[in-house]
Structures are given as structure tokens and as C-alpha cells.
Amino acid sequence: MSKPRALRLGVNIDHVATVRNARGGQVPDPVRAAQLAIEAGADGITAHLREDRRHIMDDDILRLKETISKPLNLEMAATTQMLDIALKVRPHAACLVPEKRTERTTEGGLDVVAAHNHLKPFVSELSRAGIRVSLFVEPSIAALDVARSVGAPVIELHTGAWCHALDTGDAERAGREHGRLRVAAAHAAEIGLECHAGHGLNYQTAEKIAELPSIVELNIGHFLIGEAIFTGLSEAIRLMRRSMDAGRARAVQ
């Protein structure tokens, strides 16, 4: 039995910007939150520049790129405007996500099967610029196979349906969704894709998902920023790391 791989924590700071934008002005500053998150043990910072700029703004992305000491993962829709920004900013990584103006958060993964031809040039251009591209997908074998065929080196599994089933006490659905995540994570490793996961995770679900050995990064935002109100961001990140480490210690390769 080999030692399970390290599990990175990417902290999504979008909702610090949500609070700032509720009043306008400069505070609370998501860049300050990113710096604090890194000091507290985050391995990277994730930010979603949405088309409607409802939370993160263009200037936040520029300041994050200039100031943070860990990798920046830019979540973005596959549009030419976002591609131009990514090529200018050159984040370490870009995660392509579906985006609907009416949604409160990223509701599902990319429909990569239908969008194959649309996504391919985005993956190529970003990769050519040295940006590590991931596709945010539902945990399905077909989606992973298409992600590989468009040349993405990384996929991020959408954990939202599983987390939602647990939150609403739907144990049967939760079991089914967890099974899909387990199978998809194993398939990603088999076909040579780096596997990340995220959406809706909390201390309990992060611990559980950390048991899947092929997942090497979790991206977590809303829960951590919410907990920060009560415990402070550093403590929330410390507890999240502890949960992730406890789950990873049970991972079987």
C-alpha cells in the first residue's frame, strides 16, 4: 500500500467580495483575505470572475496575481472576453465553468459532451500560454473522457449534488452521488487526468471526500467564509485542514 498523495486546499475568496460589494467601497478586501488564507495554510487561492462581476472584479484579479505568494486559480466562463483577461493576467490555473446570469452559484458542471467543439480552442489557447486548465464537470465517465479528448490536463468534480443531498437529509441520493464521485475520481486517475473537487463542501464532506486517493485538490469557498464570521478565517482554515488530513489518512491507494 503506497502513501496517499498530498491533498491541497484552494480557498475561494469570492464571498469576501460579495460582502464588500453589498456596500460598495473597498472593505472587506478579498486580497487581504487571500493573504490571510495563505498564512493560515491555504495552498492556493481561487476566484471566479463572473460576467456580471457580482463579486470578484477585474482589479481584484490583477491585485491577486501581483501580491499573493501561492498559485492563483481563475474560475472563468469559456468566453472570448474571459480568455483575453486570462491571457493578460496569466494565472497559474484556469478552471472553465458554466455560467448563467440567473444562477446564485455554479449550479452544475460543464456540459462537455455538447460543448466539445466550443471548449477545445479555449483549452488550447490557455494551455499554450502556460496556464494549467481544468474543466468543472459532473462526476460522469463520459464527461471525463471528453475532458481528456479536448486536451484538459485537470478536471474538477462538482460535489454540489452530493453535498445538497446530505444537507437535505436525502440519504439515498447522497449515497448514489457519493458513488458517482468515487467512480469518477478513480476513472480520472486511470485516464491520466489530475482530479480536483469542490462545491458546497464543509468540514464533514471535505473529510469524507479526502478519503478518495486520486483527488489532489479541494476548492472551498462559501462555507469557509461563512465560518470566518464566527471563528475567524485562520481558524476556519485550520479546522478545514484538520478535516482534510483526517480523511486523507484513511485513503487507501
The residues that are catalytic are 48, 75, 199
Shortest CB 104 distance to ligand PXP, Å? 10
Q: Which is nearer to ligand PXP, 2 or 144 (CB)?
A: 144
Task: Tally the residues of the chain.
Answer: 253
Other beta carbons within 10 angstroms of residue 59's beta carbon come to: 9
Contact indicator for 214, 175 with CB cutoff of 8 Å:
no
Q: CA 252, CA 1: separation in Å to the nearest integer?
A: 7
Shortest CB 135 distance to ligand PXP, Å? 9
Q: CA 110, CA 143: separation in Å to the nearest integer?
A: 8
Other beta carbons within 10 angstroms of residue 156's beta carbon come to: 31
Shortest CB 3 distance to ligand PXP, Å? 26
Q: Which is nearer to ligand PXP, 2 or 232 (CB)?
A: 232
**What number of CA atoms fall less than 13 Å from residue 55's CA on the CB side?**
23
Using CB under 6 A as the criterion, which residues of the chain lie in contact with ligand PXP when the complex forms? Answer: 12, 14, 48, 75, 95, 97, 105-106, 136, 156, 198-201, 219-223
Contact indicator for 140, 180 with CB cutoff of 8 Å:
yes
Q: Is the peptide bond before 213 cis (omega within 30 degrees of 0)?
A: no
Q: Which is nearer to ligand PXP, 60 or 75 (CB)?
A: 75
Q: Which is nearer to ligand PXP, 132 or 222 (CB)?
A: 222
CA angle 223, 197, 81 (to 5 degrees): 90
Residue 58 to residues 47, 54, 64, 137: CA-CA distances in angstroms?
11, 11, 10, 25
Q: Which is nearer to ligand PXP, 136 or 203 (CB)?
A: 136
